Amino acid sequence: MKKHTIKMTAAFLMLIATLGSCTKGSKGDTGPQGPAGANGLNGTNGANGNANVHSGTVTLYASDWTYNSGQWEYYSAVTDADITNDVVDNGMVAAFIQSSTGIWEAMPYTYYYTATQSYMYTFQYYSGGLTFFFEVSDNSTFTLGTVTFKVVTIGGATRRANPNTNWNNYDEVMAVVNAASPATRQ
C-alpha cells in the first residue's frame, strides 16, 4: 500500500509540474511590428477586375448564319470557354447587340424595320458556348450583314455579390465588369 501511495504521489506531482508549465497562448511573445510596405502601404494591390466576370465581343458575318426554314429563323453557334458549368448553374450570361448608332442594346432585342415588319435577336447559352438567333416577324428571308455582340459571363458568386445590378443594363453590367465607363462606351 505504501508503494502504491508513493507511485500515486509521484504521478500527481508530475501531473502538477506538467500542467503548471503550460501557459495560455504558448506561442511566445509578440514580436516587433514589421516595416511598412512601399509608400506606407501594406503591399502591392493587384489590377482592378473581377475573376468571375468575363467580357468579349463576337462579330458574325452573313456567311456565319444558317437558315432554319422549319423555324423561320437564322442561327449561329459560337464556342465560349468562359461559359462554364458554374455560370450555367449559378451565374448568368448577358448579351448585347451593337446598334447601327454604336449603342449596345440588351438582348433579346427587337428592331421595327417597317410599320409591318420587325426582326428580333435572341440567344441561348450552355456550357461551352452560346447560339444567337435572328428571326423576321413575317417569316420572310433576310440578308444579314455584319453584326457585333458583346457577351458577358458572370459567375454565381459575382451575381450574388451584386444583387442590385440590372443585368440588362449595359452601363450597370460594365460597371461590374470594370471594362468601360458610360462616357467611353463603344
Cα separation, 170 vs 77, whole angstroms = 23
Q: What is the pLDDT of residues 158-181, one digit of tens each?
A: 888 888 888 888 888 888 776 433
Long-range contacts of 66-73 (CB under 8 A, 24+ apart): 67/141, 71/135, 72/135, 72/136, 72/139, 73/133, 73/134, 73/135
Higher pLDDT, 2 or 120: 120
Instruction: Note if the pTM is more than 0.95.
Output: no
pLDDT at 148 over 50: yes
Task: Provide the pLDDT for residue 106.
Answer: 93
